[in-house]
Amino acid sequence: MKNIDTAFRSFKTFTIVVIISSVVVSCFAIYSSYNLAAKVQSKIYILANGKALEAYAAERKDNIPVEAKDHIKAFHQLFFTLDPDDKVIQSNISKALYLADASAKRQYESLKEKGYYSEIIAGDISQQIVIDSVALNIEQYPFSFRCYAKQEIIRPTTIVQRSLITEGFLRNVSRSDNNPHGFLIERWATLENRDIKSQNR
């Protein structure tokens, strides 16, 4: 009887140990599977020029500074990159106006009324812009920004370099093909636009 009782206790202990071990192993397997699935879902592979590039999914709040600055740069490059071709000017301005509110349209219409774009076409003038830096404040919504850039105006006889400083605010909007970053520039204003250097060609 003692042997049977001891054997039963041993079997009972062994069974409990096996059950606890099975539960621990199962929990670890589920946890590992969940982690692996989360890692796999966060990776995206993009095919570019025949090469597979790995990209990572992230929350939008993690990318706000990068996306916002890129949005501001894209707008300024489209708005201020001009060539003596009416179709190029219209195409760039149309794309830029999707990225900003009526404040940008007012500036465009003001320049158009003053004959700025006509002078570019008639004078065979090209205009390029280089963004030096973008100061962005994401502590308060809508996000305020200030953009520092240099314009290069290429005329047949001279090249003029100008200092350009603008400011405005960014608010969130829906993403689209015309506005991939999902921001809209508001209350956009030019603070400075002056010649800093001129040289003959």
CB 138 within 8 Å of CB 68: yes
What is the residue whose two structure tokens read 């204003």?
Answer: 189
pLDDT of residue 78: 95
Strand partners, 83: none
Is the pTM higher than 0.75? no
Cβ contacts of 173 within 8 Å, gap of 6 or more: 179, 182, 183, 184
Regarding beta strands 126-137 and 51-56, do their DSSP bridges make them parallel or antiparallel, or are they unpaired?
Answer: unpaired
CB atoms within 10 A of CB 49: 5
**What are residue 169's phi and psi, to 5 degrees?**
-130, 155
Burial of residue 55 (number of CB atoms within 10 Å: 0-12, 13-18, 19+): exposed
Helix (H) or strand (E) holding 65: helix 60-80
Can you tell me the distance from the alpha carbon of 66 to that of 62, in angstroms, rounded to the nearest whole number? Answer: 9
pLDDT of residue 24: 92
DSSP track, 78-112: HHH-B-S-HHHHHHHHHHHHTTB-HHHHHHHHHHH
pLDDT of residue 14: 85
**Nearest 10 degrees: Cα torsion 33, 35, 41, 45:** -100
Can you tell me the distance from the alpha carbon of 140 to that of 138, in angstroms, rounded to the nearest whole number? Answer: 5
Strand partners, 44: 55
pLDDT of residue 52: 62
pLDDT tens for the chain, 201 residues long, are: 556 677 777 878 888 888 999 999 999 999 888 888 777 666 666 666 666 666 655 555 667 888 999 999 999 999 999 999 999 999 999 999 999 999 999 999 999 999 999 999 999 999 999 999 999 999 999 999 999 999 999 999 999 999 999 999 999 999 999 999 999 999 999 999 999 999 998
Strand partners, 186: 169
